[in-house]
């Protein structure tokens, strides 16, 4: 009986224990979802209890009251969550029924032998992270990396070891091993965390909380999914204060990039673009803008960068951020780091394929009521052409009768129906296409990582004869040679071939100029079928403006314009760690470019139906020309850094870095061309020219620099950075015989600080992070001074002067007097800002204010002709840019399956001209009406006003403000020209939204610009040629303009205007008088820029052998214009990226809407 009772007691005890264990296991297996940042441990445990019903028991003595942790768990078991967070606190747990008891970890029970740990690392969306570095804390040589599935395996010394997980762009994670053999980790992206790392000047990585200035990291993934031929175009409206303006100039063109306004007055050799730094190699953007001498855009340095190769891109907006680049940093900097693989990863292959289709958008809404012809002064109405002579005048004059479908004469002598043809733009231009394929190989072991990629792009522009081809080879290598020596190597080779880039921006050659100005009564097919004169074989005359309106159907098959460029960008870096706190780094970087440009003007162009023979005094020749140019440029950068890693002295930290740089630029060019016609028709060579012009040029420039950086920190909330740089310029070093001790060195100091005030407010629950920052910097530039600006230079004539049978060499000297005392100009910038992250980092703000002043600006001042020179360079100009930048980003909705992230940025910049040369109050930048190829107004600098003012005559008005016209009703211009406003926008920004549902992501991006003005040449020519809606006024009976007329003999007495004027005459007077009022528009716009839909198929194909991941994106760029003020054109349809053509719209390519597909496959 006693045995039975004992057995019963045992069975009851075991059953109770088993039941308790089962209940406990059920409690531990319950799934929860948590996403909290910087929250007290007790509150985290309370959140778990609230979700699961599981109770926690612990002593308050073992959990620090102020200790905070972060947890990102989605549908994870309580056991897995506790296994991640408690070891960090040196705590353990034990489950008992529906309760969990928290205790101190028993150090004695921990294993003291080597222990192998495995696990998986994912991001906050649950996606596997490839190449995460997993290391044992305190033992940096013991490290592993995650594979393509995010898995890792590492053996650590013992259970007391801590694993450190690090990955670029993500918050570092630490995990105490304890008794665990499996540790799975979720890493949060840096933009939602407080400790994100930013790549700063000289490639130095720093925690963002330490920065005392504004630096923005671009979303590289969006750039890759929303591909543009020039990578910078994809940043439009994405970064506060970054003004991106892509021209309407075809594939392969440049972009206009400005940070916080224009830092310098424009002029020859002056650059206002930010410095571009690729893998530590500084280089100018080198935009090849459209000018009267070059009507095609030939791209810039950013064309040589493949989006798929970019690892990170950082925008350093202010002078302080970029001060360490010295004289090249006056306009800020954009830092690009390309991929170099990840260590401890298996060999992998990545394939990216992108297809884009460019649909032509025609915003033209010309009047289609009246057709080509002239206005009859007798009948006071329009007349359609009945003879070839009248048809030629009707080519550019649309002052004819109403369209009625009856027969009318055309320029080729054929009668056809008199009807409108409103679709000529879409009929002439084609759908552009672009195919881009990139293959990348990568991998790495414990010491070395590599990535090798090849990209090929083939693009057909919307212009029928334009095609663009680009091949990019990129290699990145990172190797730990020894425990103390690390070496990295990056090489980017790009080959570009741009065939027949469209000619834009001016009258003359170029399809936009032709089709926007020829009468719509002429069908596209007539221009095509009747392009050749059957008598001369040259271009058939189609209008009275034969030399300025050239039929593209004649030139297209006969003209060639080829640009072929090879460019190498390479960087080799070696770093030696003497100790854990002292290192020496050396770097050699090269930028080498070899370029060929070749083109012609075909025989017979603009021959106006007459013989294309020219009489040059040496016999007949055929019109046409040929030119070829070869250039080479090699820029070498050598730099070193001797620095300390972050050293702690109690509550203080300090870092000190010293360095130096030498920039050596050398280049040469050979250009040859023909003049005065060709000896043999249609043979394009230098030897076939009646006259041969040959020019050779070379350049050489050097800048030597020394700099230092001192970083200080106090606890975790106060940081101070001081930098200083000295540059020595060769261009500011005249011969010692002229200036014995030239002032050729300039100092660029900066100081910045940050105060992380949230560290002092731990009890403010809604505040996750708060920082105030402030900075002051002085930078500058010698931009605008050519390599030999301080010396008198000479030019030798290409052809000798022959007299009495003797050949004499001719030449000239530079009429710009070399000023030996010229210096670089300076830029002084002050900035303050505040960053706030609230509500679990779901609502964040970043606000900045800046004041940037440029002084000693290099300007050209006139000299008396008696000096033998015409101009000289002086340091007299001053200007100012000041503004505000605002960023708000948040997550309005976040559930287990759906997330909505939204980001809105705005930037306001106010510029002002403070001083010009020699006390002048205004300075002409460009007179658009005086260069022979443009039509209206001027671009000027005016002291006391914003930069880049648009100036032109306005209507003459009396004291009452009434418009005054002549007695015959024709326009009269004011004697004083009017400032119509600034060409640059005051406000720029964008609104970015990303919606994610499971594996689907939808991106919607809107951007905008406000506050700028522009002259519209399209509107002016459309009015004076009878094309636009404005020209409808006065078609029947003439134009009676609402104005007054001064009574003859009675000054100051005015009567209403009763005269009626021929509309062709009246509207042509706008061009003749330069009255600009009807043709000045706000350049404002709001655009739905991008819509992108992405789906990640990786989970669906996870069992497919060899394929590790697959993502497909569909995108649309330039979806819609939501607001604009200018008629008939896109307000962004500007032909040039140059500062001398701001605010002038003329003859740009039509805007395109791009539909794209992007496929990314990982093997």
* Calpha distance 625→601 (Å, rounded): 5
Q: Quick one: 1046 and 959 in the same domain?
A: yes
Q: Are strands 801-803 and 806-808 parallel, antiparallel or unpaired?
A: antiparallel
Which pair of tokens denotes residue 331? 């306009």
Specify if 640 maps to a domain.
no
Q: Which CATH number goes with the domain that contains 62?
A: 3.55.50.30
* Calpha distance 1130→248 (Å, rounded): 10
* Calpha distance 65→436 (Å, rounded): 56
Nearest Cα neighbor of 927 from 779, 756, 750, 1144 is: 1144
* Calpha distance 411→523 (Å, rounded): 12
Running along the chain, 1163 residues long, what does each successive block of 10 average in pLDDT?
A: 35 38 65 82 83 77 72 81 81 78 61 77 79 81 79 87 82 85 83 60 82 89 86 91 89 91 84 91 88 83 92 88 82 92 86 96 96 94 95 95 96 97 96 96 90 96 96 96 94 96 87 95 97 92 91 96 96 94 95 96 75 58 93 96 88 92 95 92 93 90 94 91 92 73 85 93 90 92 78 76 79 83 88 94 94 88 85 88 96 92 96 90 89 82 95 96 96 96 96 94 96 96 96 96 95 95 96 96 97 92 86 96 96 88 92 95 92
CA–CA distances in Å: residue 394 to residues 335, 384, 901, 977, 1039: 55, 8, 57, 33, 20
Q: Are 201 and 321 in contact (CB under 8 A)?
A: yes
Of the residues 61, 86, 107, the one at which a domain ends: 107
- State residue 18's pLDDT score: 34
Nearest Cα neighbor of 180 from 159, 204, 153, 156 is: 159
Q: Quick one: 292 and 379 in the same domain?
A: no
Q: Are 259 and 224 in contact (CB under 8 A)?
A: no
Q: What residues form DSSP beta bridges with 1115?
A: 1092, 1156
Q: Quick one: 58 and 24 in the same domain?
A: yes
What residues have CB less than 8 Å from 1104, skipping those under 6 apart? none
Q: What residues form DSSP beta bridges with 828?
A: 778, 853
Q: Quick one: 232 and 289 in the same domain?
A: yes
* Calpha distance 319→326 (Å, rounded): 9
Report residue 404: phi and psi, to 5°.
-135, 0
* Calpha distance 1069→1103 (Å, rounded): 75
What angle is formed at CA 1068 by the lines to CA 1066 and CA 1074, rounded to 5 degrees? 105
Domain that holds residue 96: 18-107
Q: Are 830 and 850 in contact (CB under 8 A)?
A: yes
Which own/partner pairs from 798-802 qualify as long-range (CB within 8 Å, at least 24 positions apart)?
798/692, 798/693, 798/694, 798/695, 799/691, 799/692, 799/693
* Calpha distance 28→98 (Å, rounded): 9
Q: Quick one: 410 and 305 in the same domain?
A: no
Nearest Cα neighbor of 131 from 147, 143, 120, 151 is: 147
Specify if 321 maps to a domain.
yes
Q: Are strands 432-444 and 938-942 parallel, antiparallel or unpaired?
A: unpaired
Which pair of tokens denotes residue 328? 């090249």
CA–CA distances in Å: residue 514 to residues 388, 517, 709: 20, 6, 57
Place of tokens 């994870």: 76
Helix axes 41-52, 78-85, angle to 10 degrees: 170
- State residue 734's pLDDT score: 73
* Calpha distance 437→1040 (Å, rounded): 61
Specify if 444 maps to a domain.
no
- State residue 168's pLDDT score: 66
Q: Are 52 and 32 in contact (CB under 8 A)?
A: yes
Specify if 1071 maps to a domain.
yes
Specify if 343 maps to a domain.
yes
Place of tokens 């049978």: 805
CA–CA distances in Å: residue 319 to residues 3, 333, 407, 513, 751: 90, 9, 67, 41, 11
Nearest Cα neighbor of 546 from 505, 509, 511, 520 is: 509
* Calpha distance 606→531 (Å, rounded): 11
Q: Quick one: 337 and 389 in the same domain?
A: no
First to last CA, the chain: 71
Specify if 403 maps to a domain.
yes
Count of beta carbons in the 10 Å neighbourhood of residue 1105: 6
Q: Quick one: 343 and 204 in the same domain?
A: yes
Q: Are strands 1144-1145 and 1013-1016 parallel, antiparallel or unpaired?
A: parallel
DSSP states of 452-506: EEEEEEEEE-SSTT-EEEEEEEEEEEEEE-SSSEEEEEEEEEEEEEEESPPP-SS
Q: Phi-psi region for residue 1143, left (φ > 0), alpha (ψ -120 to 50) or beta? A: left
Nearest Cα neighbor of 709 from 757, 646, 771, 648 is: 646
Q: What residues form DSSP beta bridges with 779?
A: 827
Q: Are 952 and 916 in contact (CB under 8 A)?
A: no
Q: Quick one: 334 and 404 in the same domain?
A: no
* Calpha distance 276→289 (Å, rounded): 17
Note the pTM of the prediction, 2 decimals.
Answer: 0.82
Which pair of tokens denotes residue 645? 């890693």
* Domains: count for the chain: 4
Report residue 52: phi and psi, to 5°.
-110, -20
**Dihedral of CA 795/796/798/802: which sign?**
positive
Q: What's the chain's Rg over C-alpha atoms?
A: 35
Specify if 682 maps to a domain.
no
- State residue 805's pLDDT score: 78
- State residue 612's pLDDT score: 56
Of the residues 107, 126, 144, the one at which a domain ends: 107
Q: Which segments of 795-835 does DSSP mark as H helices, in order? A: none
Nearest Cα neighbor of 451 from 431, 473, 425 is: 473
Q: Quick one: 229 and 293 in the same domain?
A: yes
Of the residues 348, 363, 397, the one at which a domain ends: 348
Q: Quick one: 389 and 319 in the same domain?
A: no
Nearest Cα neighbor of 145 from 119, 179, 170 is: 119
- State residue 808's pLDDT score: 79
The helix (run of H) or strand (run of E) holding residue 141 is strand 139-145
Q: Quick one: 310 and 404 in the same domain?
A: no
Report residue 443: phi and psi, to 5°.
170, -175
pLDDT one-digit tens code per residue, 16-61: 343 444 455 667 778 888 888 778 888 888 888 888 888 887 766 6
Nearest Cα neighbor of 672 from 653, 697, 649 is: 697
Nearest Cα neighbor of 484 from 561, 389, 581 is: 581
- State residue 1's pLDDT score: 37
* Calpha distance 264→855 (Å, rounded): 9
Nearest Cα neighbor of 543 from 389, 423, 421 is: 389
* Calpha distance 619→638 (Å, rounded): 57
Q: Quick one: 206 and 95 in the same domain?
A: no
Specify if 1163 maps to a domain.
no
The three-state DSSP-derived secondary structure of 374-427 is EEECCCCEEECCCCHHHHHHHHHCECCCECCCCEEECCCCCEEECCCCCCHHHH
pLDDT one-digit tens code per residue, 693-705: 998 989 999 999 9
Q: Are strands 185-187 and 115-123 parallel, antiparallel or unpaired?
A: parallel
* Calpha distance 503→481 (Å, rounded): 52
Q: Are 1079 and 1019 in contact (CB under 8 A)?
A: yes
């Amino acid at each position: 009986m006693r045995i039975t009772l004992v057995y019963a007691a045992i069975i009851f005890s075991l059953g109770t224990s088993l039941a308790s264990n089962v209940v406990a296991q059920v409690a531990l297996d319950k799934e929860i979802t948590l996403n909290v940042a910087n929250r007290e441990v007790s509150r985290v445990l309370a959140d778990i209890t609230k979700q699961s019903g599981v109770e926690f028991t612990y002593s308050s003595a073992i959990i620090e009251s102020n200790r905070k942790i972060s947890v990102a768990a989605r549908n994870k078991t309580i056991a897995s969550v506790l296994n991640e967070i408690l070891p960090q606190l040196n705590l353990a747990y034990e489950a008992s029924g529906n309760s969990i008891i928290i205790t101190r970890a028993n150090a004695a029970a921990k294993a003291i032998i080597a222990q192998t740990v495995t696990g998986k690392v994912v991001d906050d969306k649950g996606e596997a992270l490839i190449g995460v570095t997993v290391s044992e804390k305190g033992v940096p040589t013991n490290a592993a990396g995650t594979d393509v599935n995010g898995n890792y395996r590492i053996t650590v010394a013992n259970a007391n070891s801590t694993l450190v997980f690090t990955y670029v762009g993500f918050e570092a994670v630490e995990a105490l091993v304890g008794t665990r053999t499996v540790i799975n980790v979720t890493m949060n992206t840096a933009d939602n965390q407080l400790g994100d790392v930013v790549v700063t000047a000289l490639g130095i990585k720093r925690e963002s909380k330490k920065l005392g200035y504004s630096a923005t990291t671009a979303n590289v993934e969006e750039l890759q999914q929303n591909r543009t031929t020039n990578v910078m175009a994809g940043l439009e409206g994405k970064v506060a204060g970054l003004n991106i303006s892509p021209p309407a100039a075809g594939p392969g063109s440049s972009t206009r990039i400005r940070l916080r306004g224009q830092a310098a007055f424009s002029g020859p050799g002056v650059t206002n673009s930010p410095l571009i730094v690729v893998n530590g190699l500084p280089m100018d953007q080198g935009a090849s803008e459209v000018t009267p001498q070059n009507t095609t855009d030939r791209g810039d340095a950013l064309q040589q960068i493949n989006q798929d190769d970019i690892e990170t891109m950082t925008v350093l907006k202010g002078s302080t951020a970029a001060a360490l680049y010295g004289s090249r940093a006056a306009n800020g900097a954009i830092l690009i780091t390309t991929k170099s693989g990840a260590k401890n990863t298996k060999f992998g292959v990545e394939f990216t394929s992108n297809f884009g289709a460019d649909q032509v958008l025609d915003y033209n809404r010309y009047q289609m009521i009246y057709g080509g012809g002239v206005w009859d002064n007798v009948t006071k109405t329009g007349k359609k052409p009945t003879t070839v002579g009248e048809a030629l005048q009707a080519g550019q004059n649309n002052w004819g009768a109403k369209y009625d479908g009856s027969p009318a004469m055309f320029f080729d002598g054929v009668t056809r129906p008199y009807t409108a043809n409103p679709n000529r733009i879409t009929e002439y231009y084609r759908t552009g296409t672009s195919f881009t394929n990139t293959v990348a190989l990568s991998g790495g072991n414990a010491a070395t990582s590599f990535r090798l990629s090849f990209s090929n792009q083939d693009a057909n522009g919307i212009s029928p004869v334009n095609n663009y081809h680009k091949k990019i080879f990129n290699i990145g290598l990172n190797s730990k040679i020894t425990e103390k020596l690390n070496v990295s190597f990056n090489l980017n080779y790009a080959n570009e071939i741009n065939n027949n880039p469209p000619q834009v921006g001016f009258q003359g050659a170029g399809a936009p100029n032709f089709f926007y100005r020829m009468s719509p009564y002429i069908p596209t097919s007539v221009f095509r079928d009747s392009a050749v004169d059957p008598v001369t074989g040259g271009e058939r005359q189609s209008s009275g403006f034969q030399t300025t309106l050239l039929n593209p159907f004649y030139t297209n098959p006969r003209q060639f314009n080829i640009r072929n460029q090879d460019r190498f960008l390479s960087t080799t870096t070696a770093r030696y760690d003497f100790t854990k706190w002292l290192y020496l780094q050396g770097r050699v970087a090269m930028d080498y470019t070899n370029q060929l440009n070749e083109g012609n003007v075909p025989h017979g162009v603009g021959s106006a139906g007459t013989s294309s023979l020219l009489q040059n005094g040496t016999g007949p020749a055929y019109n046409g020309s040929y030119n070829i140019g070869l250039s080479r440029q090699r820029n070498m950068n050598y730099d070193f850094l001797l620095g300390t890693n972050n050293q702690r002295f109690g509550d203080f930290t300090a870092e000190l870095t010293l360095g130096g740089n030498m920039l050596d630029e050398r280049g040469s060019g050979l250009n040859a061309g023909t003049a005065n016609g060709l000896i043999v028709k249609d043979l394009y060579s230098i030897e076939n020219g009646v006259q041969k012009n040959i020019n050779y040029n070379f350049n050489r420039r050097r800048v030597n620099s020394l700099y230092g950086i001192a970083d200080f920190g106090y606890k975790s909330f106060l940081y101070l950075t001081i930098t200083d740089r000295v540059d020595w310029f060769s261009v500011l070093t005249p011969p010692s015989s002229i200036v014995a001790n030239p002032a050729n060195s300039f100092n660029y100091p900066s100081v910045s600080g940050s105060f992380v005030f949230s560290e002092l407010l731990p009890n403010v629950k809604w505040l996750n992070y708060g920082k105030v920052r402030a900075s002051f910097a002085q930078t500058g530039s010698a931009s605008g001074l050519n390599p030999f600006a301080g010396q008198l230079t000479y030019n030798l004539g290409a052809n000798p002067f022959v007299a009495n049978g003797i050949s004499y060499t001719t030449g000239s000297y530079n009429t710009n007097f070399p000023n030996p005392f010229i210096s670089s100009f300076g830029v002084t910038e002050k900035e303050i800002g505040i960053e706030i992250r609230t509500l679990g980092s779901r609502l964040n703000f970043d606000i900045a204010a800046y004041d940037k002043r440029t002084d000693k600006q290099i300007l050209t001042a006139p000299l008396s002709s008696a000096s033998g020179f015409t101009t000289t360079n002086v340091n007299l100009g001053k200007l100012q840019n000041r503004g505000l930048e605002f960023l708000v980003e948040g997550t309005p909705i976040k559930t287990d399956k759906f997330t909505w992230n939204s980001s809105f940025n705005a930037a306001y910049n106010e510029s002002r001209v403070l001083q010009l040369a020699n006390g002048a109050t205004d300075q002409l930048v460009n007179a658009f009406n005086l260069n022979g190829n443009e039509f209206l107004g001027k671009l000027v600098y005016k002291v006391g006003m914003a930069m880049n003012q648009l100036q032109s005559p306005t209507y003459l008005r009396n004291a009452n403000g009434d418009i005054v016209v002549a007695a015959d009703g024709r326009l009269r211009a004011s004697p004083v020209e009017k400032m119509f406003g600034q060409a640059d926008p005051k406000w720029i920004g964008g609104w970015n939204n990303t919606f994610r549902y499971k594996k689907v992501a939808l991106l919607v991006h809107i951007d905008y610009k406000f506050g700028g003005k522009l002259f519209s040449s399209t509107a002016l020519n459309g009015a004076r040629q009878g094309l636009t809606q404005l020209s409808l006024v006065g078609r029947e009976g003439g134009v009676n303009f609402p104005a007054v007329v001064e009574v003859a003999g009675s000054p100051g007495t005015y009567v209403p205007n009763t005269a009626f004027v021929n509309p062709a005459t009246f509207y042509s007077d706008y061009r003749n008088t330069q009255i600009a009022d009807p043709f000045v528009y706000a350049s404002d716009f709001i655009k739905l820029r991008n819509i992108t839909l992405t789906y990640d198929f990786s989970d669906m194909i996870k069992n497919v052998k060899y394929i590790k991941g697959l993502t497909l994106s569909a995108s649309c760029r330039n979806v819609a214009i939501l607001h604009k003020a200018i008629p008939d054109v896109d307000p962004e349809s500007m032909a040039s990226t140059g500062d001398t053509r701001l605010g002038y719209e003329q003859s740009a390519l039509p805007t395109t809407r791009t539909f794209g597909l992007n496929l990314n496959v990982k093997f």
